[in-house]
């Protein structure tokens, strides 16, 4: 992990920094990466994205919840998104984080909450994807996913795998046997070299390998990266290997590489924008800054412009 990324992730955990950014955040530029604080505001953004040919996955922000009450509220918020998608007739599915649904409180409680969300996804003929968090939560996340994909089917629930982890190749092989829908990402958390490749070029190489592996096994793959070199390489590989269009999609984050998102749409690719909204945007926002510290300058500039 680069020094600048480490510094940002460490600062993000500092109380004084947290309170300053939380108070001034939207003004500070979080609005570039977050589609508003309410579901209604997010729906407006989704409609605009759909009008531009982009499809969406909505994420009601929040993680590391410590009370059952908060976890139940977050569960209901995720369920409500499916109703809003239907009522507004927009093209979107939903992404969730298990720590928001009570994973750190009680695994059985979290499974029950996730079960309600997956059931709603199936009832509304939609899809929910479980985001992947840091490695202490990885095994239990895969266990919960496996339980629910057996119950609701791969058309209604999917998972994320991170290419920075040594173990991910084996996870893709194991999950691939169930033909599940995986989103492949590089990974956004601070992980030690004992579990994650310390060098970016290894993370990048593994990224391409995992995408190809899952697709070669005939499984639906969400190629979630803004890395233009990787996208270029994979586009050529998809063509050479005659991978059917209905087996993959590109995914990018709201507010990141907007031009590239639209360029891919104009070339005929399916592109989904991960669109977060809600009051609890601070941890998400700091990870985006950590990925690209140059974003901090953008943020400071918008602060002084407002």
- Of positions 63, 249, 280, 291, contacts ligand FDA by CB under 6 A: 291
Q: Any known ligand binding at 132? A: yes
Regarding 211 and contact with ligand FDA (CB under 6 A), the answer is: no
Distance, CA of 261 to CA of 246 (rounded, Å)? 18
Beta-carbon contacts of 179 under 8 Å, excluding residues fewer than 6 positions away, are: 154, 217, 218, 219
Subset of 65-94 contacting ligand FDA (CB under 6 A): none
Strands 182-185 and 221-224: parallel
Distance, CA of 213 to CA of 203 (rounded, Å)? 15
Respond yes or no: is residue 131 known to be catalytic. Answer: yes
DSSP character for 239?
Answer: H
Q: Does residue 71 contact residue 109 with C-beta atoms inside 8 Å?
A: yes
Respond yes or no: is residue 183 known to be catalytic. Answer: yes
Regarding 180 and contact with ligand FDA (CB under 6 A), the answer is: no
Determine the size of the site formed for ligand FDA (CB under 6 A). Answer: 23
The interface region with ligand FDA, picked from 61-69, 140-148, 181-189, 238-246 by CB under 6 A, is: 181-189
Subset of 245-264 contacting ligand FDA (CB under 6 A): 251-253, 256-257
Regarding 221 and contact with ligand FDA (CB under 6 A), the answer is: no
Distance, CA of 25 to CA of 18 (rounded, Å)? 10
Of 83 and 136, which has the nearer Cβ to ligand FDA?
A: 136
The 3-state DSSP class for residue 277 equals strand
Give the closest residue to 184 by CA, choosing from 210, 155, 149: 210
Regarding 206 and contact with ligand FDA (CB under 6 A), the answer is: no
Structure tokens belonging to residue 166 = 């040594």
Least distance (Å) between residue 283 CB and ligand FDA = 12
- Of positions 34, 46, 131, 231, contacts ligand FDA by CB under 6 A: 131
Q: Does residue 17 contact residue 302 with C-beta atoms inside 8 Å?
A: no
Distance, CA of 181 to CA of 191 (rounded, Å)? 25
Least distance (Å) between residue 86 CB and ligand FDA = 22
Q: Any known ligand binding at 188? A: yes
- Contact positions vs ligand FDA (CB under 6 A): 131-132, 160, 162, 185-189, 224-227, 251-253, 256-257, 274, 288, 291-292, 295
Q: Which residues are catalytic?
A: 131, 183
């Amino acid at each position: 992990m680069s020094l600048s990324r480490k510094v940002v992730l460490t600062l993000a955990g500092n109380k004084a920094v947290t309170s300053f950014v939380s108070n001034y955040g939207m003004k500070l530029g979080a609005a570039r990466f977050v589609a508003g604080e309410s579901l209604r505001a997010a729906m407006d953004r989704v409609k605009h994205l759909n009008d531009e040919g982009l499809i969406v996955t909505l994420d009601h922000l929040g993680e590391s919840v410590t009370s059952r009450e908060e976890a139940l509220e977050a569960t209901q918020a995720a369920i409500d998104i499916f109703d809003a998608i239907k009522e507004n007739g927009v093209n979107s599915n939903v992404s969730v984080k298990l720590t928001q649904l009570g994973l750190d409180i009680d695994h059985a409680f979290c499974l029950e909450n996730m079960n309600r969300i997956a059931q709603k996804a199936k009832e509304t003929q939609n899809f929910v994807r479980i985001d992947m968090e840091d490695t202490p939560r990885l095994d239990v996340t895969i266990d919960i996913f496996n339980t629910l994909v057996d119950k609701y089917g791969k058309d209604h629930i999917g998972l994320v795998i991170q290419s920075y982890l040594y173990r991910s190749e084996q996870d893709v092989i194991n999950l691939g046997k169930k033909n599940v829908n995986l989103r492949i990402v590089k990974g956004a958390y601070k992980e030690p070299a004992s579990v994650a490749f310390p060098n970016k070029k290894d993370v990048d190489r593994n990224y391409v390998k995992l995408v190809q592996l899952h697709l070669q096994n005939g499984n639906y793959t969400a190629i979630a990266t803004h890395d233009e070199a990787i996208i270029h390489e994979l586009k050529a590989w998809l063509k050479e290997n005659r991978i059917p269009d209905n087996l993959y999609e590109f995914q990018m984050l709201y507010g990141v590489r907007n031009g590239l998102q639209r360029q891919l749409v104009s070339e005929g690719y399916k592109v989904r924008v991960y669109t977060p909204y809600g009051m609890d945007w601070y941890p998400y926002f700091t990870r985006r800054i950590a990925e690209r510290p140059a974003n901090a300058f953008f943020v400071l500039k918008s602060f002084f412009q407002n």
